[in-house]
Amino acid sequence: MKRILSFFLLSFIFINALAQIPAGYYNNAAGLSGANLKTALKTIITTGHATNITYNDVWSAYQTTDRDYDYDNDGTILDIYSETPVGPDQYNFIYGPTDQCGSSGYSSEGDCYNREHVVPQSLFNEALPMRSDVHFIRATDGKVNNERGNLPFGKVGTYNYLSQNGSKRGNSVSPGYSGVVFEPIDEFKGDIARMIFYFVTRYESQLSGFSTGNMLAQNTYPSLQDWELNQLLLWNTQDPVSASEIRRNNATYAFQGNRNPYIDHPEYANMVWGTPVVDTQAPTVPTNLIANNPTSNSIAVSWTPSTDNIGVTSYEVYANGALKATVSGTTTSTVVSGLSPLTQYTFYVIAKDAAGNASTQSNNAVETTLDGPAGGGSCGTEDFSTMLDGSFQSTSYSTRTWTNNNITWTSTLTRTDQTINGKAACTQKGTLTSSLISGGVQTLTLTTQLKFSGNSGNLNVLVNDVQVGTIPYSATANTTTINVGVTGNAVIKIVNPNNDRVAMDDLSWTCATSLATVETKKDKSEFIIYPNPVRNNEMFVKGENLSKVSKADIYDLSGKLIETIVNPFRHSNKINLKGLVKGTYILKTDTSSAKFIVD
């Protein structure tokens, strides 16, 4: 085995020795720049390109082009979607047919490797010679290749797929594009950029007949859409040419007779398209921060968005100086959960752009969480993270069933490829239903967003098949909290009655612990409120042992604490309500509680 490996190593060294840049190869590009340089390079790399290579021949090319002699130096397949540059790889592929697969044959990472067209072959109708041009076709894990699909490359904000080496798919935060993109790890971002630069140079005269795939431009120059070009130029600068790229370029030249000029001369990229603009300008300060709708463990915050010379990519939400949430740059509200009852929180927000520039913090907003018995503690949350047991990206509207936090959910007419803050259930005339939950529902919070086309509207919220409220949706992701007030066992049902395709994320609810009013109870702890309804902001209380009451709390029916009065009956049996608006309230003391109405 060692002798065989040595033979291949010697063969590889011999091939590379023959495959250095030929003398004068780039002479016709001397002194040129811009579109003229690009066209000159096109002519150079078209000459000598063996265009009779078949798609099946690409497997043979990988014997010399895609082997690892620079990271682990073990001769296994060098896969940019699974390679761990520092430390051992999670898995490896051995060159040869045993570990190869096509468009199927895999269910998880590490099953097999296949041929990944960095520029999707669907964009050029799988035509030759593009389909078999090894310069932009890498040997990669089949599962990860499938997860990337035909997406353009860009910087991901919130990911909905993450490979074992950190490659990810999700919403784009590359300035100028907000669709879904795929992002390789930093080690291979320059490799991706230079492969795409090669493609749009080698085939510049054919681009007008190719599909764009949200990355190509149908012209000879600049040949890439502005947002993609700017992102790739930045990656070309941030990740310089590596030894493995040089090795691959030499091996590909030996195999098919032409070279990638952007590996031989990485400076050509800036000479053709210009130096990438480095963003140093921070977003403006978010304004009008408001904190409201408190529960015992959460508070909603909203703000007026920031602006940026290129684009805001995210907002960081802080409570009492600690980072509590990060939301996308198109979101201007969220619900901060995991808070402590009866605690005052001071919030501020910071905006960030794709370059990491941060704004000055916003104004402060102060709100206090509710008392646990009144508003109820957190009964549950659903972030859709276990939807489909980890399988994701289904575009069909089907019935989905999954279990999370001991609650089983069923969602009808639902697709799973849309996201808000992560995985989201996107329904079209569908229904999301929980299994039986205990503790009741005092308040319910949900984030919604209209996907694709349609109009703003409302989802219906039912508890135990009784409608308790509605939650609005629009093209902007918004978080809404409604008061429910159902005690005991409950089944939550959220109904989309419309043809609109509406995504749902970050569902949560608080417990509905009964305040146990004692209007029918007859013992020494009982008290009576009079007159009831209360008028003129003066409420009188009659009962035994009132002077021993240490504290009285006034709540509205949502469970929000309105006022706390210490030793309320030490000097009299009257409470001044200090201008409460009309409505129904609850007075709760150390031992009892009762409802009253303000007229």
Residue 83 lies in a domain: yes
DSSP string, 83-105: --SSS--S----SSGGGB-SSSS
Q: Measured between alpha carbons, how far apart are the two ends of the chain, in Å?
A: 93
* Element holding 137 (H helix, E strand): strand 137-141
Q: Is 69 helix (H, G, I), strand (E, B) or coil?
A: coil
Domain end (from 273, 295, 328): 273
Are 92 and 18 part of one and the same domain?
yes
CATH number at residue 414: 2.60.120.260
279 part of a folded domain = no
Phi–psi pair at 250, nearest 5 degrees: -65, -45
CB 75 within 8 A of CB 69: yes
- Taking the CB of residue 159, how many other CB atoms lie within 10 A of it? 16
Q: Are residues 234 and 335 in the same domain?
A: no
Same domain as 396, residue 453 = yes
d(CA 383, CA 508): 8
Regarding whether 76 and 17 lie in a shared domain, the answer is yes
In a shared domain, residues 359 and 410? no
What is residue 264's predicted lDDT score, i.e. its pLDDT?
97
Task: Quickly list DSSP for 389-426.
Answer: GG-----S-EEEEEEETTEEEEEEEEE-S-BSSSB-EE
pLDDT of residue 388: 67
Q: What is the largest CA-CA distance in the chain?
A: 106
Q: Is 224:270 a contact under the CB 8 Å cutoff?
A: no
- Residue 385, domain member (yes or no): yes
326 & 371 share domain: yes
Looking at the DSSP bridge assignments, the partners of residue 479 are 447
DSSP-derived secondary structure letter, 224: B
Contacting residues for 73 by C-beta, under 8 A, at least 6 apart: none
User: Do 387 and 433 sit in the same domain of this protein?
Assistant: yes
In a domain, 517, yes or no: no
- At residue 216, the pLDDT reads 97
Say yes or no: 361 and 402 in one domain: no
pLDDT tens by residue, 124-156? 999 999 999 999 999 999 999 999 999 999 999
Looking at the fold, whether 342 and 479 belong to one and the same domain comes out as no
What angle do the packed helices 243-256 and 189-202 form, to 10 degrees? Answer: 30
Does residue 282 form part of some domain?
no
Q: Please check whether residues 482 and 570 belong to one and the same domain.
A: no
User: pLDDT per position in the chain (599 positions), as tens?
Assistant: 222 333 333 344 333 434 589 999 999 999 999 999 999 999 999 999 999 999 999 999 999 999 999 999 999 999 999 999 988 899 999 999 999 998 777 889 999 999 999 999 999 999 999 999 999 999 999 999 999 999 999 999 888 999 999 999 999 989 889 899 999 999 999 999 999 999 999 999 999 999 999 999 999 999 999 999 999 999 999 999 999 999 999 999 999 999 999 999 999 999 999 987 677 899 999 999 999 888 778 889 999 999 998 888 889 999 999 988 888 888 899 888 888 877 889 999 999 987 789 999 999 999 888 765 744 445 788 988 888 644 445 788 889 888 887 788 999 999 988 889 878 999 999 999 999 887 788 889 999 999 988 889 999 999 999 888 899 999 888 899 888 878 778 899 999 999 999 999 999 988 775 443 433 334 444 678 888 888 888 888 888 778 888 888 887 765 667 888 888 888 888 888 877 888 878 888 876 777 788 87
> How far apart (Å, rounded) are the C-alpha atoms in residues 585 and 534?
11
What pLDDT shows up at residue 2?
27
- 531 preceded by cis ω (within 30°)? yes
Return the closest-CA partner of residue 204 out of 36, 55, 28. 36
* Residue among 193, 353, 217 nearest 270 (CA): 193
pTM to 2 decimal places: 0.55
Domain boundary among 350, 375, 400: 375
- Phi/psi at 49 (5° precision): -70, 120
- Considering the domain architecture, whether residues 164 and 301 belong to the same structural domain is answered as no
Q: How far apart are CA 2 and CA 432, in angstroms?
A: 60
Residue 212 covered by a domain: yes
| CB contact at 8 A, 261 and 44 | yes
Residue 575 Cα distances to 67, 370, 572, angstroms: 82, 22, 8
Angle 241-243-248 (CA atoms, 0-180°, nearest 5)?
A: 90
- Ramachandran category for residue 567: left, alpha or beta (phi over 0 → left; psi -120 to 50 → alpha): left
Question: Would 407 be classed as within a structural domain?
Answer: yes
pLDDT in tens, 181-219: 999 999 999 999 999 999 999 999 999 999 999 999 999
Residues whose CB falls within 8 Å of the CB of residue 74, separated by 6 or more in sequence, listed in order: 68, 92
Q: Which domain holds residue 341?
A: 287-375
For residue 265, the Cα-to-chain-centroid distance in whole angstroms is: 36
Is residue 281 in a domain? no
Q: Put residue 351 in one of left, alpha, beta given phi > 0 → left and psi -120 to 50 → alpha.
A: beta
Q: Give me the number of domains the chain comprises.
A: 4
Quick one: 248 and 363 in the same domain?
no
Proportion of the chain in helix, strand, coil states, percent, rounded to 5: 20, 35, 45
Closest to 116 in 3D by CA, of 162, 150, 75: 150
Q: What is the CATH number of the domain that holds 346?
A: 2.60.40.10
